[in-house]
Amino acid sequence: MDDTFRFADAFGPSRIIHIHRPGVGLKAIVVVDNTACGVAIGGVRMAPDVSVEECFRLARAMTWKNAAASLRHGGGKSVIFGNPRMAGKEKERVIRAFAASIRDIADYVPGPDMGTDELCMGWINDETGRAVGLPGAIGGIPLDEIGATGFGLAASIDVARTFIDLDLKGARVAVQGFGAVGKHAMRFLAEKGAILVGASDTSGTLADPGGLDPSALIALKDAGRSLRESAAGQKLPGDAIIDVPCDIWIPAARPDVINEGNVKRLNTRLVAQGANIPCTVEAEGALHQRGVLVIPDFIANAGGVICAAVEYQKGTQKAAFDYIDEHIRANTRTVLEDAKRKRIPPRAAALALAEERVRTATGTRRWR
């Protein structure tokens, strides 16, 4: 028999809500994982193959990310079963029906995720009065356009490099997934003198040990074109980004891209996790054994949710950048110092930090 409470542990999930509106073709799940730190914030993912387990894991990741960033927010997530490329009118109907169904789940604030965007958040806000990642016209801060997550990732790298005596000037960087996170991280690193030696997207890898021009590649991507269309560098298959010798390797595409089968191929000193769960547990362990420093995803890539939380408080873009810079730098330093002192992997130190914050917040609550 299926066990309804199979995900239950000391932290949550507080609620798992199943939504089914056959007349609209809406099937969705909302997981409110933990609200000790405040109202849960987490994205709405639309994909045909989502699941309750995926939703729970993503909600839990948000609990840790929000707590680690000292946000007054707990973790939640929702998934809508469906093709995100469905016709605009149909998508609006499904998203609005979803929004109407979560109107009373007041301790969950939706944000954009895979398959949803600021327009979808606008519809949800219209139905419920609460969403983040809104269009600028109604008070949103365009976090992907301004590169909030890439900015935080670069700040995190700037702290982590001091733990391995790496100078950013001349540091060689390889970026897997030259999208919103990857290209902006590179833009901020290039400002400090780092050199892009490899970049990839779904079209393949571009590599040049002498350095690629990040601005030219960003302009190409911003024009809706792919890296393969660039005349620069050597053109290699997508997977070849893993072999590019570098000092800093940035995964900024998909989960589990580094696993037991390919972790040996990475030739780098620092892995800064822009993507969520880009390394399997085994691969991350192997990197730690080899002395490769890994900055865990929920510490390094919190820029986006910080920006969303600042937007929720009606703060400015400048306030968002200031918060990201201060908190991601401080957290990276704390986590890496802790890991060094206790001789534990950075992820273990990061989890301990987040769990401690959630426990402290829980202690202030009447209903625990």
Dig out the tokens for 99 from the structure. 């929004």
Q: Are 26 and 94 in contact (CB under 8 A)?
A: yes
CB of 364 to ligand NAD, least distance (A): 28
Dig out the tokens for 185 from the structure. 């991280």
Q: Are 309 and 132 in contact (CB under 8 A)?
A: yes
CB of 315 to ligand NAD, least distance (A): 17
**Between 33 and 127, CB nearer to ligand NAD:** 33
Rounded distance, CA 97 to CA 142, Å? 25
DSSP state of 258: B
Rounded distance, CA 350 to CA 11, Å? 16
Dig out the tokens for 275 from the structure. 């993507």
CB of 299 to ligand NAD, least distance (A): 11
**Between 76 and 274, CB nearer to ligand NAD:** 274
**Between 125 and 301, CB nearer to ligand NAD:** 301
Dig out the tokens for 86 from the structure. 């469905």
Binding site for ligand NAD (CB under 6 A): 143-144, 149, 176-182, 200-202, 238, 252-254, 274-276, 301, 304
CB of 227 to ligand NAD, least distance (A): 8
CB of 134 to ligand NAD, least distance (A): 15
Rounded to 5 degrees, φ, ψ at 235 are -90, 125
Tell me how far the alpha carbon of residue 41 is from its chain's centroid: 13
What is the Rg, in whole angstroms, of the alpha carbon atoms belonging to the chain?
A: 20
Rounded to 5 degrees, φ, ψ at 292 are -85, 125
**Between 93 and 329, CB nearer to ligand NAD:** 329
Single-letter amino acid code for the residue at 315: G
**Between 176 and 331, CB nearer to ligand NAD:** 176
Q: State the burial class of residue 209 (Cβ atoms within 10 Å of its Cβ: 0-12, 13-18, 19+).
A: middle
CB of 177 to ligand NAD, least distance (A): 3
Where would I find the H helices in 193-241? 214-222
Secondary structure (3-state) at 295: strand
**Between 25 and 84, CB nearer to ligand NAD:** 84
**Between 254 and 340, CB nearer to ligand NAD:** 254
CB of 286 to ligand NAD, least distance (A): 20
Tell me how far the alpha carbon of residue 295 is from its chain's centroid: 13
- Side-chain half-sphere CA neighbours of 57 within 13 A: 8
Query: Which residue's CB comes closest to ligand NAD?
Result: 179
User: One of 77, 91, 183, 221 is an active-site residue; which one?
Assistant: 77
Told to judge if 77 belongs to the known catalytic residues of this protein, a careful annotator would answer yes
Rounded distance, CA 335 to CA 97, Å? 42
Known catalytic residues are 77
